[in-house]
Amino acid sequence: MISLHGLTKVFPGGVHALDDIRLTIADGEFFALLGPSGCGKTTLLRTIAGLETPTAGRVHIDDADVTTLPPGQRDLAMVFQDYAIFPHMDVTANIAYPLRIRKVPRRERAAKAADVAARLSLTELLRRRPAELSGGQQQRVALARAIACHPTAFLFDEPLSNLDARLRLEARTFLKRLQRELAVTTVFVTHDQAEALALADRIAVMSAGRMIQIGTPADIFHRPATTFVAAFIGSTPMNLLPARHTPTALHVAGATLPLPPPLAALDTPGDLTYGVRPEYMDLSATERPDAFPGTISVMENLGTHTLVTLETPRALIQLVVPEGDEPPLGTPAWAVPRRALLYHGDTLLTTL
Ligand code: ATP
């Protein structure tokens, strides 16, 4: 279990990389830190590892306060984006390296390296050097080296980002299965929302050194707590449309929608934003009052689906339709929302 108590990191020059982070990661949990570049993910991981000293706050591993403990005494294994495997050592020596540092006898080291290599399908490659391996194989060697130490936790900093798209998907599935098998607490940094959704038990979405939302992938996807999270999550971005309400209805982009159950925030001033994912709308060829009226202006092929852009007088609305159901370009159409979210200012009010 890793718990962070009010972690703050201010770099010289005044950059607040971490701002009062409070979080407990459970034993065996796969936890993703997700956010745009510069939001503090790597700094947080390095602070857990002991490679950065926090300006304020404490890091606990299980029941011990490790805030002042050097990295080597924290029993954590870190895998970086660039793998950092030794070019002059073969695969066996690379995997066994942490065991050599711990003065494990040679015979035991070789047996352990062979065992871990077998788990990661590296047996055929044990005598090769990194230059003779593909990117995916090098990445597996880095993972094998991390596993060989039997750490309390894995800390991964974008470990898949150097792989091409197909290999990355394979490595993702592999990593998920491995983590399930080993049940080792894992903290995984990524800026790729699909990766975080696919891998994690829980995700923390970060922005400017703060945790904006912590939740399961389903929570984060279906109930994004702020418009920032709503815009960040989803392979096609959520439509965020200005909304206005009367005592009886909600008016959004030419549609008149039923007003949600009484909400106190609706009586206080503040802009409303209506969020709807492209996947949660249907297209109608006939007019209806509860739909967004517009003209089909762009179509993008997504393979099994098509991303359709509907040009309305006030906004561009994107929705996904199954391949073959696309209306002709330039024709009028109505987008009917099935599932949506209502924000007051920046904050989620309710799901609709
Ligand atoms: P990326 O996805 O681009 O790696 P990140 O979310 O991991 O970004 P960090 O690397 O943690 O972000 O950086 C957070 C902030 O702290 C950034 O504004 C960065 O410029 C700043 N920063 C990081 N390391 C240092 C340092 N050693 N000295 C000064 N500022 C730093």
Record the tokens describing residue 277, joined without a space: 């994912």
Q: Is 37 in the pocket of ligand 1 (CB under 6 A)?
A: yes
Of the candidates 183, 100, 190, the one whose C-alpha atom is nearest the C-alpha of residue 145 is 100
Q: Are residues 158 and 296 in the same domain?
A: no
CATH number at residue 21: 3.40.50.300
Residue 17 in contact with ligand 1 by CB distance below 6 A: yes
Q: What is the pLDDT of residue 7?
A: 96
Residue 232, domain member (yes or no): no
Q: Which of 169, 201, 226 is the last residue of a domain?
A: 226
pLDDT for res 83: 66
Return d(Cα 18, Cα 7) in angstroms, integer: 7
**Average pLDDT value over all residues in the chain:** 89
pLDDT above 70 covers a percentage of the chain that reads 98
- Are residues 71 and 169 part of one domain? yes
Mutate to test the pocket of ligand 1, among 11, 48, 82, 193 (most ligand atoms within 8 A of CB): 11
Is residue 211 domain-shared with residue 246, that is, in the same domain?
Answer: no
Question: Per the structure, how many domains does the chain have?
Answer: 2
| Alpha carbon of 38 to ligand 1 centroid (Å) | 5
- Report the CATH number at residue 342: 2.40.50.140
- Whether residue 234 is contained in a domain is answered as no
217 and 274 together in one domain: no
Chain center to CA of 30: 11
Mutate to test the pocket of ligand 1, among 42, 52, 78, 195 (most ligand atoms within 8 A of CB): 42
For residues 134 and 239, what is the distance between their CA atoms, to the nearest angstrom? 40
Strand partners, 77: 154
Domain span holding position 208? 2-226
Domain contains 231: no
| Listed residues 226, 260, 290: the one ending a domain | 226
Q: Phi/psi class of residue 33: alpha, beta or left (left: φ > 0; alpha: ψ in -120 to 50)? A: beta
Which of 194, 226, 258 represents a domain boundary (last residue)? Answer: 226
pLDDT in tens, 157-198: 988 877 778 778 877 888 888 888 888 999 999 989 999 999
Render pLDDT for 253-268 as a digit per residue (tens, 0 to 9).
888 888 877 676 777 7
Ligand 1 atom closest to the Cα of residue 46 is 11
Contacts of 8 (CB under 8 A, 6+ apart): 16, 18, 19, 20, 21, 54, 55, 56, 57
Q: Is the CB of 47 under 6 A from ligand 1?
A: no
Tell me which of 7, 8, 9, 15 to substitute to probe ligand 1's pocket, judged by most ligand atoms within 8 Å of the beta carbon: 15
How far is it, in rounded angstroms, from Cα 94 to Cα 44? Answer: 27
Within a domain: 143:
yes
Based on the domain organization, do 11 and 108 belong to the same domain?
A: yes
CB of 46 sitting under 6 A from ligand 1: no
Query: How big is the chain by its Cα radius of gyration, in Å?
Result: 25
